[in-house]
Amino acid sequence: MASNSTPKGCGSSVDSLYYNLCDLNAVWGIVLEAFATAGIIFSFVLFISLLASVPFTQDKNRKSSVALHALFLVCTAGLFCLTFAFIVGKDFATCASRRFLFGVLFGGCFACLLMQCVRLNILARCNSGPRAWVLCLGAVGLWLVEVVINTEWLIITVVRHPQVPLNATAETSRATATPCNIANEDFVMALIYVMTLILAVVLASLTIMAGKHNHWKKEGAFILLTSFVTVGIWVAWIVMYVYGNERNGGPAWDDPTLAIALVANAWAFLILYTIPDICCLTGDDESQPSFGEDLYPNRGVGYETILKEQSSQNMFVENKAFSMDEPNQASKPVSPYSGYTGQLRGSVYQPTELALISKAVGIHPPDVSFDMVIPRASVNSAANSGSSTPSTRTEAGNTAHTQTNGNSGNGLHRTSQW
């Protein structure tokens, strides 16, 4: 008889409490079990990714939210684990964990989201957020309120229906199911504080959009979208749990309704909020002003650096070569001690093609315009004249002449400047 009562897919040694985990006739248990297991693994992977991204986060305002993200992921993984308590059968342990952990885990998630909204509201207006320990302290304070409420409610309801002695076998089944012996309306009313947190998250995420710093509004949009989806999930399961099951499926649909609500809301947390926020955590910091490349130039030796330096120098030489094409002024004095045609050389000689061209221009015959040449003194040798006399050299036209006074030892001569 025991083998005949075992559902298809479960072994004969499986306790009847765990039939929903393997019963092929109750497919909802197997499907929710698969989604919950995948959610636990994915939450763990995201938690490791969050911790690994901390060294690569440069903005201190983004780094201050890492602790809240970690607490949020722990509570989300707890929601996936709590799903198994609604899949398996009812006993004292599973019913007590259902009633206590359902509100506590959701309260932890929404407390973290509310403190994230507070942080983003401050950043969107002041561009400087609070410290990490302040945010964590606020989230823990909001979470402890729900812990106290659920603890008190669980103790009062269990004491109101005390367990009978163990030797009374007739009442054993009723005594073990005492924590589950409550109305659906009472279970929903015990979550009033969690609903208040959900409403606070929706309003706080809406106020983020009114800030003046737009780069923080993207994270606020993730929270706003998550809160809207959460409100839809909660409205659906509350209506189904309080009104729909009594009229259609009966009490047999109560556990699947709560299990589906847990899995759906937990996956919404991961997909709509956690994954995009971790991507933003290691993204470029848009709040910092972007400076040009010239503020911190690259001093490394490379082909690009050499091309960049030569381009600026060649531009200077090219402009200098164009300036040499201008006609010379006739009244402009030219010093014989200058390098070439009065043009000033650069402080550093660059052996480029333009520099060679500009140098070659200087050896061409001068134009028809005459320049005023400053005489330069020279000393004649003692063999030609008995005393050293100064002489001057000037340039006149394209032909160089030399004139010497033969009557006296002192003479002036003209030679070409070049």
Domain spans of the chain, in order of start: 15-281, 303-362
Model confidence at 220, pLDDT cuts 50, 70, 90, reads: confident
pLDDT(148) > 80: yes
Rounded Cα gap, residues 360 and 386, in angstroms: 40
Mean pLDDT is lowest, of 59-68, 92-101, 302-311, 397-406, for 397-406
What is the per-residue pLDDT for 124? 84
340 three-class SS: strand
Express each pLDDT in 121-140 by its tens digit: 988 888 777 888 899 999 99
Tell me whether strands 390-391 and 378-379 are parallel, antiparallel or unpaired. antiparallel
Report CA-CA distances (Å) from 343 to 145, 323, 337, 361, 397: 85, 10, 11, 11, 20
Q: 379 pairs with which residues across the strands?
A: 390
Express each pLDDT in 308-358 by its tens digit: 555 545 444 444 444 455 555 445 555 555 555 555 554 445 556 666 666
Report CA-CA distances (Å) from 193 to 6, 107, 199: 42, 8, 10
The CATH number of domain 15-281 is 1.20.1070.10: yes
Q: What is the pTM of this model?
A: 0.65
Model confidence at 389, pLDDT cuts 50, 70, 90, reads: very low
Q: Is the model more confident about 14 or about 75? A: 75
